[in-house]
Chain A
Amino acid sequence: MCSLCGMLGGRGHWTETATNADAFQGRAESHTRHRERQDRTRLVNKVLKHYGLSLTDWAATSFVLRSHTGQTRLVSNLSEMWAAAESLGRRDCDPLDEDLLTALSENLVRR
C-alpha cells in the first residue's frame, strides 16, 4: 500500500506479520498480534518523540497519532502514519536525517 495515496480496502499491510504469517514461521507463541502492535507503537514513539508527536493503538484496528497541541489523526498502518506525521508535525520525517539519528542514539545511551 502506498503511503502517499492511502487507499482503503487492500490486503493487510506488509509490515504486519499476521497478514503474511507464512513468511514468519517458527515464532514463539508469546508473539501475538497484540504484542506486535504494542511493540510497534513503542518503537514508533521513540522516533515520533523527535517530532513532538505520539502514537497510541486504537482498538487493535487503527492507531491515533497526536501532536503536542492535541491535534489527532486516525491511521491504519505505518505507511499512512508517516504521511500523517509529516502533515501534523509540519516537518519532513526523514530517517536519513542526521539530527534524528543523533537523537535516537542519545536516547539509547541514556537508557
Chain B
Amino acid sequence: MTEYAALIPVNVITGFLGSGKTTLLQKLLASPQLRDTAVLVNEFGEVGLDHHLLENVAEGTLLLDNGCLCCALRGDLQESLRDLFSRRERGEIPRFQRVVIETSGLADPVPIAYTVLAEPVIQHHFRLGNIVTTIDTVNGQAQLDHNSESIKQAAVADRLILTKTDIASVGQVNALRTQLRRLNAGAVMIDAGAEDLDPVQILTNDTYDQESRSREVGRWLQDEELNSGLTEHKHGLHAHDEIYSFCVSYDVPFDWTAFGVWMTMLLNRRGDKVLRIKGLLNVAGVATPVLINGVQHIVHPPVHLDHWPDIDRQSRIIFIVQGLSQQRIEASLSAFNALANPVPLSGVPAVGPAQAASETVVSRP
C-alpha cells in the first residue's frame, strides 16, 4: 500500500455563493508550483478558468441506505476521481500531482472529504489535503448568521480566505475575523487580496506533508484564541446548538487503545455534533507525538511528528463542536483513559483533571 503521505493530495475549495472561490482558484493556478494540478468544478461560474486539466462534475450525492448525511458518498466525485486516475495511469492526460475540487456555494464539504478518505478505490490513490473556505468580508457575517452551510464550510476549514477585503470597511473585516476565530480557532486566516498570496501556504502545506507538518501543528497549538484563557464558558453554559471551539490539554500520556475506544464511541453517537477534532497526543510508550485529525465521522490515519514542536509535552486536542459540553467531553475522555490506567484504591486519580486551555464560542443562527 502506498504510504499515506505519498498519495495524491485532494484540496477542497469551498465557500458560500459569490464568495470568490473561482477567483481564488484562478490566482492559485497561475502559480508555477501548481501547474501539475487537475481541477474538478461543480459548476462553471461567471469567472472563467483557463486550465488544461479542468473538468465539470454534475453535483449528486449517493446516500447509502444506512448512511448518515455527512458520510454520504459523492457519487459524482467518486466517478470523476476514479476516471481521472485511470486516465492518468493510461497516459491519456498529464500525470497531475494534485487535485483541486471547487464545490458549489451551497455544498457541504464533509461528504467530499468522506469520499476521498473512505471510498475503497479512491483512498488507495488519493488523500485529503487542506480544506480551503472563502468568506466574503462584506456579506460573510450575515451569511454566517443565516446559513448553516456557511457555518459548516467555515468550521471544517484548514484555511479561511477572506475575500473582497478591499471593498469592506475595517470594522467589517475585524468583526468577521473575530467571529471566524471563535468558530474555528485552529485555521489559518489569509487575506485573498494580499500581494504575497502564497499558494504553497494555502494548498500544499498541510499536516500530511512531511516538510510542513511540524510547522502546521506548531501553528495550531500557538493559536492565540485557543490559548487566551476564555474559560467563562467552560461549565456548560452553551446554548443548545452553539458551535464553538476549545482546546483541552492532558499531562498524563494517553493509552492509545483507550483513546480509540473513546473516540470511535463519541463519533458514532455524536459525530454529527463534532465538526472537527485535531490534536497532538503524547501516547504512552510511543517515542514521538501522534497527530490526530478528524472531520465529523471521518478520521484521517494518524501520523507522527519527528519531534515535539515546543518544550511542552502535554497532549493537546482542539475540538469544534455543536452544542456539546466541554466539561462533559473532558470528563468522559479522562474516564476512558482511566480504564487503561485504573485509579488506585487510595482514590488518587490516575488521570489528572483535564486542563482547559481556553474555549471560544460563537452563536448559531
A-to-B contact residues, CB < 8 Å: 1-11, 14-15, 17, 19-20, 22-28, 31, 36, 39-40, 43-44, 46-47, 77-79, 81-83, 86, 92-96, 98, 101, 104-105, 108-109, 111
Contacts and interface: CB of A to CB of B under 8 A. Distances in A.
Nearest to B336: A95
A32 to B, nearest CB: 13
Given A5-B67, A15-B263, A44-B261, 13 more contacts: A2-B71, A2-B298, A3-B268, A4-B271, A10-B123, A15-B260, A19-B301, A22-B3, A26-B287, A39-B257, A77-B264, A78-B261, A78-B264
B328 A3 contact: no
Interface string B1-44: 10110000000000000000000000000000000000000000
B61 to A, nearest CB: 13
Given A28-B285, A78-B260, A3 B271 contact: yes
Interface of B: 1, 3-4, 64, 66-68, 71, 73, 114, 118, 120, 123-124, 256-258, 260-271, 283, 285-288, 290-291, 297-304, 324-325, 328-329, 331-332, 335-336, 338-340, 342-343, 345, 347
A26 B285 CA distance: 7
Nearest to A36: B257
A14 B297 contact: no
30 contacts: A2-B118, A3-B264, A4-B68, A5-B66, A6-B66, A8-B120, A11-B123, A14-B300, A15-B256, A17-B256, A19-B301, A23-B290, A23-B291, A24-B286, A26-B286, A40-B257, A43-B340, A78-B264, A78-B265, A82-B269, A86-B269, A92-B269, A95-B269, A95-B332, A96-B325, A96-B329, A96-B332, A101-B331, A104-B336, A108-B343
Nearest to B289: A23
B235 to A, nearest CB: 15
Contacts of A2: 67-68, 71, 114, 118, 297-298
Contacts of A46: 339
Say whether chain A's binding surface is mostly helix, strand, loop, or mixed: loop
Contacts of B1: 11
Contacts of B324: 96
Contacts of A96: 266, 269-270, 324-325, 328-329, 332
